[in-house]
Structure formats: structure tokens, C-alpha cells
Homo-oligomer: A and B are copies of this chain.
Amino acid sequence: MSSAHRIAVIAGDGIGTEVMPEGLRVLEAAATRFGIGLQFDHFDFSSCDYYERHGKMLPDDWKEQIGGHDAIYFGAVGWPDKVPDHVSLWGSLLMFRREFDQYVNVRPARLMPGVRAPVVRRDGSPREPGEIDMVIVRENTEGEYSSIGGRMYAGTEREIVVQETVMSRVGVDRVLRHAFEVARSRPKKHLTSATKSNGIAITMPYWDERVEAMAKEYPDVKVDKFHIDILTAHFVQRPDFFDVVVGSNLFGDILSDLGPACTGTIGIAPSANLNPTRQHPSLFEPVHGSAPDIAGQGIANPIGQIWCGAMMLEFLGHQAAHDAIMRAIEECLAPGSDAPRTRDLGGQASTSDLGKAIAARVQA
């Protein structure tokens, strides 16, 4: 057994606390089977419950507590009835992304067996697993998510609010490089850049410029670009066209919900917030949120959390363990499988029924 990877576990709010045990169950099964050392340290901060007790989302020494870990395995944060989203999120998740310089956010959107996609082919027939398989690569630390700006003439008719979008050469180039590398590693070697240089005519032409410059270093990668408005239309009309799609913080945010929505997997999609330099921990979280509407019932689908675990193991160098988890997920989803199905999949199974079924297949 290799020396143990130290994983900071943050379940967070709502269904985060329900899917997390299943994620851990599957990780433990994979660790046993593949002889991977995993040490889990649990933290109760970065949740709205913690905020209610302490008046803040994080303890003052949060960086010391989790900054030395190899990865953060994250559930979901946010509970608007307790804490406004912009407080809970800027006070935790978005702060981790910045402070740990997790400058790449990676989200796959794949048609999975047994999951019906709401978008069909031109002739109305359903799309098949394998037909849509894209990876959205999102800039994760700057761009439209800036903390610079403010309000003037507050409370009057002349009130005006401004916010800066900030793009730096360093920030843009490093995420583009990551995206080009991901594209190069895949069979189709096709990279699509999301832009809006015809309307957002200062920052976005700069983004395009950097894409063009870097494309020269990757002659083997086929590059194209679309304005974000028509790009969202293409996601619906011909999602099979895309391979790797790179976007700014905001455009990546939008596309990485829209992509999984088109494949019907938004409830089970994973997301990786990466610091590829490994100077700080990377963070792995499902795309779904804390889901106050179904929290507390034990019916949430744990696959998003489990899929995140697979991505985390891959990032930590354990490809075979990643592949085994993904196979187990696909086996359980496949039509005709005897695995329990949660409500979103048309069944009655509980969160842990499905978690156990996946863990059993990973172990086997």
C-alpha cells in the first residue's frame, strides 16, 4: 500500500450530508480493492449550520486545517433560508477556489446508459450512450466573478452599480493550456472556445486572441469558437459535435450546467476544481447543490458524489480505480440492471441502497 493520501471531507449542507457517506463507501471499496491508502479527515465547517453556530462559514485557521491535504472531497454548500447564497458561497466554496488557486474547473457531460437525454436527434430519435461525450473546462478564479466594483448614489434614482470583469494573461493562458492538453489527450482532439467578442467587446476579444496564440502551439488540436448565445443553441441542437469546450468563469459555469442538462445527467454530474500545480489541494464536488427541497428524506441520488470520488482518484494517480468506479456506475444505471434505482431514475431506492450497490460492484 502506498503512503496514504490525506483527504479533507466536507459534507456541507442538505443532501451533501446524505450523499457523502455513499461517496466514502465507494472510495473505501476502491481503496481496498486497489490497495490505495486513503485517510479521511472530516470537517464540519463550510456549511450553513456552522454559520448559524459561529456567525461565519469557516474558522479563522481553515487554511491550516485543510491546506495541507492532498484533496478536498466536498458535498454541497448553501441553504438560502439560513444564509444568503452570496454569503455562504463567497465565504466557502468560492474562497477555496481562489485561495487554493484551483484555476481549472472540469466537468464532463456524457450520455450514460439508462439515463434519458431530453435532447433528441434531428429526426426525433433518442441519442445513444457514447453519442454525447464532452468535457467542459472552466476558468475558475477570475473573469466575471470578480470582487471589484460597488454602488454609487445608493437608494436614489441615480443609483448605479458597477462590477469589473478581470482577465489576466496568466489566468487566461493557464486554463487554456489545460484545455488544450485535455483536448490533445482525447481521440477527437477538438477544442471549442466560448466567446462573446462581438458584444463584450473588451475582455472577450482578448480571450479570443489568447486562444489563437496558443492554438499555434497545438497544431494537432482542431480549434473553433462560438459566441455563447449560439453555442448554447448548438449544445441543444448538436451536442454530439463537441469534445472539449473551454470558457471563462461565467461561460464555463453556464455551459457546465447546460451540457449535463442536455445529457440528462445534471443530477449526477461531477466537477473537479483543480490546482494542477498541486501546490494546494484540489476540490471535488458534485454539480448538484444542497437541494433543500428533497433534503432529509434519504432519496438523493449519490452518483454525483461517487463520480467525483472517481475523478479524485484519477487526479491522485489511480486510473484503474477511477475506471472501476465508472464501470460500476454504468452497470448500475444500465437498463435491465437489477441495481436499485433512486426516485430521479424512476425507482424507490434510498440513497444508501444505490451507494451500496455501486460499492459492491467496485469491490467485486
Contacts of A261 in B (CB 8 A): 232-234, 236-237
CB-based contact A149/B118 at 8 Å: no
CA of A254 to CA of B226 in the docked complex: distance in angstroms? Answer: 12
Q: Check: A126 CB closer than 8 A to any chain B CB.
A: yes
A232 near B254 (CB under 8 angstroms)? Answer: yes
Docked complex: A190-220 residues within 8 A CB-CB of B: 196-203, 205-206
Against B, the Cβ 8 Å flags (1 = close, 0 = not) of A254-266 are: 1011101110001
How many of A's residues come within 8 Å of B, CB to CB? 64
With A145-B200, A261-B232: A163-B165 Cβ-Cβ less than 8 Å = yes
Tell me, yes or no, whether A229 is within 8 Å of chain B by CB.
yes
Residues of B contacting A253 in the complex (Cβ-Cβ under 8 angstroms): 196, 199, 228-229
Closest B residue to A123 by CB, please name it: B116
Bound-state CA distance A145–B196 (Å) is: 10
Is A345 an interface position by the 8 A CB rule? no
Given contacts A149-B202, A206-B151, A254-B232, contact A159 B164 (CB under 8 A): no
A89:B233 contact, CB within 8 angstroms: no
A94 within 8 A of B: yes
A66 to chain B, nearest CB (A): 22
Question: Do A166 and B160 contact each other (CB < 8 Å), given the known contacts A119-B118, A144-B200, A261-B232?
Answer: yes
Does A1 count as interface, using CB distance less than 8 angstroms? no
Shortest beta-carbon distance from A48 to chain B in Å? 13
Knowing A118-B119, A119-B119, the reply to whether A149 touches B203 (Cβ < 8 A) is yes
Contacts of A257 in B (CB 8 A): 229-230, 232-233
Nearest B-chain residue to A166, judged by Cβ: B162
Beta-carbon contact of B198 and A86 below 8 Å: yes
A89-B161 CB under 8 A given contacts A119-B118, A232-B254, A257-B233: no
User: Which residue of B has the minimal Cβ distance to A249?
Assistant: B199
Docked Cα-Cα span, A197 to B87, in Å, equals: 10
The copy count of this chain in the complex is: 2
Counting CB contacts under 8 A, is A182 at the interface?
Answer: no
Q: Which residues of B contact A203 (CB under 8 A)?
A: 149, 161-163
Q: Is the CB of B199 within 8 A of A150?
A: no
**B119–A236 contact, CB under 8 A?**
yes
Query: Is there an interface contact between B89 and A163, defined as CB atoms closer than 8 Å?
Result: no
A142: nearest chain-B partner, CB-CB:
B160
Q: Is the CB of B164 within 8 A of A163?
A: yes
What is the CA–CA distance of A165 and B204 in the complex, to the nearest angstrom? Answer: 13
A226 to B168, CA, bound (A): 29
Please give me the residue from chain B that is nearest to A86 by CB atom: B201
Minimum CB distance partner of A266 in chain B: B233
On whether A250 and B163 interact (CB within 8 A), knowing A118-B122, A201-B86, the answer reads no
Interface: A181 (CB within 8 A)? no
| The residue from B158, B196, B206, B254 contacting A228, defined by CB atoms under 8 A apart | B254
The 6 closest A-B pairs by CB, nearest first: A233-B261, A159-B169, A229-B257, A85-B198, A163-B202, A149-B202
In the assembled complex, 16 residue pairs joining A and B whose CB atoms fall closer than 8 Å, in A order, are A89-B198, A89-B199, A118-B122, A118-B237, A145-B199, A147-B202, A151-B202, A161-B203, A162-B166, A162-B167, A164-B164, A199-B253, A228-B254, A229-B254, A232-B232, A233-B257
